[in-house]
Protein backbone atom coordinates (compact mmCIF):
# COMPACT_ATOMS: atom_id res chain seq x y z
CA UNK A 1 0.00 0.00 0.00
CA UNK A 2 1.26 3.52 -0.77
CA UNK A 3 2.08 5.06 2.61
CA UNK A 4 1.58 8.55 1.17
CA UNK A 5 -2.12 7.76 0.89
CA UNK A 6 -2.47 6.42 4.44
CA UNK A 7 -3.75 8.47 7.32
CA UNK A 8 -4.65 8.07 10.94
CA UNK A 9 -8.38 8.29 11.52
CA UNK A 10 -9.74 10.33 14.40
CA UNK A 11 -12.52 8.82 16.51
CA UNK A 12 -16.00 9.50 15.10
CA UNK A 13 -18.14 12.30 16.43
CA UNK A 14 -21.00 11.36 18.72
CA UNK A 15 -24.10 10.82 16.63
CA UNK A 16 -26.69 13.45 17.42
CA UNK A 17 -29.85 12.14 15.82
CA UNK A 18 -31.88 9.03 15.23
CA UNK A 19 -31.37 9.58 11.51
CA UNK A 20 -27.61 9.37 11.98
CA UNK A 21 -27.99 6.18 14.03
CA UNK A 22 -30.02 4.68 11.21
CA UNK A 23 -27.33 5.71 8.75
CA UNK A 24 -24.67 3.59 10.45
CA UNK A 25 -26.82 0.73 11.65
CA UNK A 26 -26.74 1.43 15.39
CA UNK A 27 -24.65 2.75 18.26
CA UNK A 28 -22.08 -0.06 17.92
CA UNK A 29 -20.63 1.22 14.64
CA UNK A 30 -17.15 2.63 15.04
CA UNK A 31 -14.24 3.64 12.84
CA UNK A 32 -10.96 2.44 14.32
CA UNK A 33 -7.69 4.30 14.46
CA UNK A 34 -5.24 2.91 11.97
CA UNK A 35 -3.22 3.33 8.82
CA UNK A 36 -5.75 2.20 6.26
CA UNK A 37 -7.30 4.84 3.98
CA UNK A 38 -10.37 6.35 5.60
CA UNK A 39 -12.75 5.37 2.79
CA UNK A 40 -11.63 1.74 3.16
CA UNK A 41 -12.58 1.80 6.82
CA UNK A 42 -15.95 3.31 5.92
CA UNK A 43 -16.44 0.64 3.25
CA UNK A 44 -15.75 -2.15 5.74
CA UNK A 45 -18.21 -0.68 8.22
CA UNK A 46 -20.90 -0.42 5.53
CA UNK A 47 -20.20 -4.02 4.49
CA UNK A 48 -20.81 -5.05 8.10
CA UNK A 49 -24.25 -3.46 7.85
CA UNK A 50 -24.92 -5.58 4.75
CA UNK A 51 -23.52 -8.71 6.36
CA UNK A 52 -25.35 -8.51 9.69
CA UNK A 53 -28.72 -7.71 8.13
CA UNK A 54 -28.94 -4.10 9.34
CA UNK A 55 -29.52 -3.23 5.69
CA UNK A 56 -31.59 -5.78 3.78
CA UNK A 57 -31.70 -6.51 0.02
CA UNK A 58 -33.65 -3.85 -1.87
CA UNK A 59 -33.51 -1.34 0.98
CA UNK A 60 -32.93 2.33 0.22
CA UNK A 61 -29.80 3.51 2.02
CA UNK A 62 -29.61 6.81 3.90
CA UNK A 63 -28.14 9.64 1.88
CA UNK A 64 -24.38 10.17 1.72
CA UNK A 65 -24.56 13.24 4.03
CA UNK A 66 -26.61 11.24 6.56
CA UNK A 67 -24.14 8.36 6.57
CA UNK A 68 -21.26 10.82 6.76
CA UNK A 69 -22.82 12.62 9.73
CA UNK A 70 -23.31 9.34 11.53
CA UNK A 71 -19.67 8.36 11.06
CA UNK A 72 -18.07 11.74 11.48
CA UNK A 73 -16.49 11.74 8.03
CA UNK A 74 -16.98 13.76 4.87
CA UNK A 75 -19.65 12.92 2.26
CA UNK A 76 -16.84 12.55 -0.28
CA UNK A 77 -15.33 9.73 1.78
CA UNK A 78 -18.68 7.97 1.97
CA UNK A 79 -19.16 8.46 -1.78
CA UNK A 80 -15.81 6.80 -2.51
CA UNK A 81 -16.72 3.83 -0.30
CA UNK A 82 -20.10 3.49 -2.01
CA UNK A 83 -18.42 3.72 -5.42
CA UNK A 84 -16.45 0.56 -4.59
CA UNK A 85 -19.53 -1.23 -3.25
CA UNK A 86 -21.35 -0.30 -6.45
CA UNK A 87 -18.48 -1.59 -8.60
CA UNK A 88 -18.70 -4.88 -6.68
CA UNK A 89 -22.49 -5.03 -7.29
CA UNK A 90 -23.27 -4.91 -3.57
CA UNK A 91 -25.28 -1.70 -3.91
CA UNK A 92 -27.18 -0.25 -6.86
CA UNK A 93 -27.28 3.45 -7.67
CA UNK A 94 -30.41 4.76 -9.35
CA UNK A 95 -30.38 8.25 -10.77
CA UNK A 96 -32.72 10.53 -8.88
CA UNK A 97 -33.80 7.79 -6.47
CA UNK A 98 -30.76 7.01 -4.34
CA UNK A 99 -28.61 4.01 -3.48
CA UNK A 100 -30.15 0.60 -2.76
CA UNK A 101 -28.83 -2.66 -1.36
CA UNK A 102 -28.48 -5.02 -4.33
CA UNK A 103 -30.88 -7.92 -4.68
CA UNK A 104 -29.89 -11.29 -6.07
CA UNK A 105 -32.46 -11.04 -8.83
CA UNK A 106 -32.15 -13.09 -11.98
CA UNK A 107 -30.74 -10.23 -14.04
CA UNK A 108 -27.92 -9.55 -11.59
CA UNK A 109 -27.01 -13.23 -11.23
CA UNK A 110 -27.19 -13.71 -15.00
CA UNK A 111 -24.50 -11.10 -15.59
CA UNK A 112 -22.40 -11.59 -12.46
CA UNK A 113 -22.43 -15.31 -11.71
CA UNK A 114 -23.84 -17.30 -14.63
CA UNK A 115 -21.41 -17.56 -17.54
CA UNK A 116 -22.82 -20.34 -19.74
CA UNK A 117 -24.29 -18.62 -22.77
CA UNK A 118 -26.20 -20.19 -25.70
CA UNK A 119 -24.20 -20.02 -28.93
CA UNK A 120 -26.93 -17.72 -30.26
CA UNK A 121 -25.48 -15.10 -27.90
CA UNK A 122 -28.69 -14.27 -26.03
CA UNK A 123 -28.28 -14.49 -22.27
CA UNK A 124 -30.98 -16.50 -20.53
CA UNK A 125 -31.37 -17.55 -16.91
CA UNK A 126 -31.49 -21.37 -16.73
CA UNK A 127 -34.31 -23.35 -15.19
CA UNK A 128 -33.43 -25.58 -12.26
CA UNK A 129 -34.71 -28.98 -11.15
CA UNK A 130 -33.74 -30.17 -7.66
CA UNK A 131 -32.94 -33.88 -7.48
CA UNK A 132 -31.98 -34.22 -3.82
CA UNK A 133 -31.20 -32.24 -0.66
CA UNK A 134 -29.57 -34.05 2.23
CA UNK A 135 -27.51 -33.55 5.38
CA UNK A 136 -24.00 -35.02 5.23
CA UNK A 137 -20.59 -34.75 6.88
CA UNK A 138 -17.87 -32.65 5.27
CA UNK A 139 -15.12 -34.57 3.53
CA UNK A 140 -11.57 -33.26 3.71
CA UNK A 141 -11.97 -31.57 0.30
CA UNK A 142 -15.26 -29.92 1.29
CA UNK A 143 -13.85 -28.80 4.65
CA UNK A 144 -10.83 -27.20 2.98
CA UNK A 145 -12.93 -25.29 0.46
CA UNK A 146 -15.53 -24.08 2.94
CA UNK A 147 -13.14 -23.36 5.79
CA UNK A 148 -14.89 -25.71 8.22
CA UNK A 149 -13.79 -28.69 10.24
CA UNK A 150 -13.71 -32.19 8.74
CA UNK A 151 -16.97 -34.06 9.37
CA UNK A 152 -18.81 -30.79 10.10
CA UNK A 153 -22.48 -31.01 9.07
CA UNK A 154 -23.14 -29.75 5.55
CA UNK A 155 -26.06 -29.65 3.14
CA UNK A 156 -25.53 -31.53 -0.13
CA UNK A 157 -27.72 -30.48 -3.06
CA UNK A 158 -27.91 -32.14 -6.46
CA UNK A 159 -29.79 -30.58 -9.34
CA UNK A 160 -30.00 -30.29 -13.11
CA UNK A 161 -30.31 -27.01 -14.97
CA UNK A 162 -31.88 -26.49 -18.35
CA UNK A 163 -31.33 -23.95 -21.13
CA UNK A 164 -34.18 -23.68 -23.66
CA UNK A 165 -35.73 -26.75 -22.08
CA UNK A 166 -32.64 -28.94 -22.64
CA UNK A 167 -30.73 -30.39 -19.66
CA UNK A 168 -27.23 -28.96 -19.94
CA UNK A 169 -25.75 -28.61 -16.42
CA UNK A 170 -25.38 -31.11 -13.60
CA UNK A 171 -24.69 -29.40 -10.27
CA UNK A 172 -23.49 -30.62 -6.92
CA UNK A 173 -23.68 -27.91 -4.26
CA UNK A 174 -22.40 -28.10 -0.69
CA UNK A 175 -23.31 -25.58 2.02
CA UNK A 176 -22.19 -25.24 5.65
CA UNK A 177 -25.23 -26.26 7.67
CA UNK A 178 -24.36 -23.62 10.28
CA UNK A 179 -25.12 -20.88 7.73
CA UNK A 180 -28.30 -22.47 6.34
CA UNK A 181 -30.10 -24.25 9.20
CA UNK A 182 -33.18 -26.14 8.04
CA UNK A 183 -32.60 -25.67 4.32
CA UNK A 184 -32.61 -29.46 3.94
CA UNK A 185 -36.34 -29.44 4.66
CA UNK A 186 -36.93 -27.67 1.35
CA UNK A 187 -36.87 -30.58 -1.07
CA UNK A 188 -37.88 -28.41 -4.02
CA UNK A 189 -35.54 -25.45 -3.70
CA UNK A 190 -36.19 -22.31 -5.76
CA UNK A 191 -34.37 -21.84 -9.03
CA UNK A 192 -32.60 -18.70 -7.82
CA UNK A 193 -30.60 -20.08 -4.89
CA UNK A 194 -28.61 -16.90 -4.24
CA UNK A 195 -31.81 -14.90 -3.76
CA UNK A 196 -33.04 -17.64 -1.41
CA UNK A 197 -29.82 -17.52 0.62
CA UNK A 198 -30.17 -13.77 1.01
CA UNK A 199 -33.90 -13.57 1.75
CA UNK A 200 -34.19 -16.57 4.06
CA UNK A 201 -30.79 -16.77 5.75
CA UNK A 202 -29.26 -13.31 5.46
CA UNK A 203 -26.32 -14.67 3.46
CA UNK A 204 -25.60 -12.42 0.49
CA UNK A 205 -23.16 -13.85 -2.04
CA UNK A 206 -20.74 -11.06 -2.90
CA UNK A 207 -18.07 -12.79 -4.97
CA UNK A 208 -16.69 -16.14 -6.01
CA UNK A 209 -13.65 -17.90 -7.39
CA UNK A 210 -13.94 -20.38 -10.25
CA UNK A 211 -11.75 -23.08 -11.74
CA UNK A 212 -12.47 -24.52 -15.19
CA UNK A 213 -11.45 -27.97 -16.32
CA UNK A 214 -12.23 -30.40 -19.14
CA UNK A 215 -13.72 -33.65 -17.82
CA UNK A 216 -15.49 -36.73 -19.14
CA UNK A 217 -19.15 -37.32 -18.30
CA UNK A 218 -19.62 -40.02 -15.68
CA UNK A 219 -22.53 -42.46 -15.70
CA UNK A 220 -24.71 -40.20 -13.53
CA UNK A 221 -24.13 -37.10 -15.65
CA UNK A 222 -24.64 -39.01 -18.88
CA UNK A 223 -28.01 -40.26 -17.63
CA UNK A 224 -29.22 -36.87 -16.42
CA UNK A 225 -27.96 -34.78 -19.35
CA UNK A 226 -28.69 -37.23 -22.14
CA UNK A 227 -25.09 -37.65 -23.29
CA UNK A 228 -22.87 -40.68 -23.63
CA UNK A 229 -20.59 -41.78 -20.82
CA UNK A 230 -17.14 -40.33 -21.36
CA UNK A 231 -18.32 -37.44 -23.52
CA UNK A 232 -16.14 -34.31 -23.09
CA UNK A 233 -17.71 -31.79 -20.72
CA UNK A 234 -16.77 -28.48 -19.11
CA UNK A 235 -16.47 -28.53 -15.31
CA UNK A 236 -16.81 -25.25 -13.43
CA UNK A 237 -15.88 -25.40 -9.75
CA UNK A 238 -16.87 -22.36 -7.68
CA UNK A 239 -16.40 -21.28 -4.10
CA UNK A 240 -18.81 -18.44 -3.30
CA UNK A 241 -18.21 -15.99 -0.46
CA UNK A 242 -20.57 -13.87 1.60
CA UNK A 243 -20.17 -10.14 2.12
CA UNK A 244 -17.99 -10.75 5.17
CA UNK A 245 -15.66 -13.04 3.21
CA UNK A 246 -16.92 -16.29 4.74
CA UNK A 247 -17.06 -19.23 2.29
CA UNK A 248 -20.76 -19.95 1.89
CA UNK A 249 -21.02 -22.44 -0.98
CA UNK A 250 -18.96 -24.95 -2.94
CA UNK A 251 -20.50 -25.75 -6.31
CA UNK A 252 -19.30 -28.10 -9.03
CA UNK A 253 -21.15 -27.70 -12.34
CA UNK A 254 -20.55 -30.09 -15.22
CA UNK A 255 -21.77 -28.48 -18.45
CA UNK A 256 -22.75 -29.91 -21.83
CA UNK A 257 -21.46 -27.29 -24.24
CA UNK A 258 -22.56 -28.59 -27.63
CA UNK A 259 -24.81 -25.53 -28.04
CA UNK A 260 -23.42 -23.18 -25.41
CA UNK A 261 -20.13 -21.63 -24.34
CA UNK A 262 -18.56 -20.15 -21.23
CA UNK A 263 -18.21 -16.37 -21.51
CA UNK A 264 -15.74 -14.38 -19.44
CA UNK A 265 -15.64 -10.62 -19.89
CA UNK A 266 -12.24 -9.15 -19.06
CA UNK A 267 -12.10 -5.56 -17.82
Per-residue CA distances from 195 to 129, 164, 190 (Å): 16, 22, 9
Helix ranges restricted to H, 52-180 = 64-71, 75-87, 106-112, 140-146
Say which residues have a Cβ less than 8 Å from residue 103's Cβ, sequence separation at least 6: 57, 58, 195, 198
Specify whether the CB–CB gap between 238 and 210 falls below 8 A. yes
Q: Outline where the chain has alpha helix (H).
A: 18-24, 38-51, 64-71, 75-87, 106-112, 140-146, 193-201, 219-225
Q: What is the pTM of this model?
A: 0.69
108: number of CA atoms within 13 Å, CB side? 22
Give 4 or 180, the one with higher predicted confidence. Answer: 180
Identify which has the larger pLDDT, 160 or 41.
160
What was the pLDDT predicted at 246?
93
175 near 183, Cβ under 8 Å?
yes
pLDDT digits (tens, 9 = 90+) for 204-233: 888 889 999 999 999 999 999 999 999 999
Closest alpha carbon to 154 in 140, 131, 138, 133 = 138
Bridge-based pairing state of the strands 205-216 and 127-137: unpaired
Three-state secondary structure call for residue 194: helix
Q: What is the pLDDT of residues 137-173, one digit of tens each?
A: 999 999 999 999 999 999 999 999 998 889 999 999 9
Amino acid sequence: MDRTQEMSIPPPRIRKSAKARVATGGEGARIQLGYRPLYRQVKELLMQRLSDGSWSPGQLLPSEPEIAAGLGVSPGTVRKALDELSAESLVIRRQGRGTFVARHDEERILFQFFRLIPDSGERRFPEGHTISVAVAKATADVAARLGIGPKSPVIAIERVRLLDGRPCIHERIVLPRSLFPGIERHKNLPNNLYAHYSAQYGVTIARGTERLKAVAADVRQAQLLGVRTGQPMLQVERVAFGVDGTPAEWRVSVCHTDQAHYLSELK
